[in-house]
Amino acid sequence: MAADEVAAACRRAVTERGRAVIALSGGETPWKMIRALCSISLPWERIHVAQVDERLVPRGDPRRNLARLEEILVQQGPLPPANLLAMPVESEDPEHAARAYQQTLERRAGTPACLDLVQLGLGTDGHTASLVPGDPVLAVRDRDVAVTAPYLGTQRMTLTCPALSRARQRLWLVTGAGKADRLRQLLDGSGDAPATSVAREDSVVVADADALRGDPSRG
């Protein structure tokens, strides 16, 4: 289902605008969906895949989302290498690199950049992308790409709330019983988790049974 949603968004964008520009998240949730997407017949030469967020660590570091995106989409999949838009997290000036990445998106998705679809995850603390509770980046409204404070040992480059909310469609992938409470907040727009700061219109939520059911012991 999730892969079909992405494929439909890509087809629609190519038909209407000649190209599709989507952004994919990392974490552990989306890889099965991305593999399924690669098996779908699409005009891949007209599809550009950006990153929702990335850790500021060297190339080759196993914590990088890019490595798995390259493996699945490019090395094993149909995406042309030049169409994978990697966040420039190895720059000695991350803030300048964030501005440069925004310009990369604008060249392909207009100014301001309007992505055709962003695929998002949901953390147990309510974070999405690398927008985590208490980070100053949550308040950014004048940039589409920003650099976070350290989180779980590393700084991140991330799309900001305005960029995520401006996208034509949002696809949320949520798995695990530990996210059940946050999923309920996301669905009804309650609470103050970072994920609830993202626009709810034109959103599709795909959740597994555990996330929908939660922990039975908690009532």
Q: Where along the chain do its domains lie?
A: 2-218
The pLDDT-based confidence of 217 (bands split at 50, 70, 90) is very low
> Is the distance from CB of 143 to CB of 98 less than 8 angstroms?
yes
Q: Is the pLDDT of residue 218 over 60?
A: no
At 214 the pLDDT is: 67
3-state secondary structure 142-183: CCCEEECCCECCECEEEECHHHHHHCCCEEEEECCHHHHHHH
Question: Is domain 2-218 annotated with CATH 3.20.20.70?
Answer: no
Q: Is the pLDDT of residue 162 over 80?
A: yes
Q: What is the average pLDDT score of the chain?
A: 94
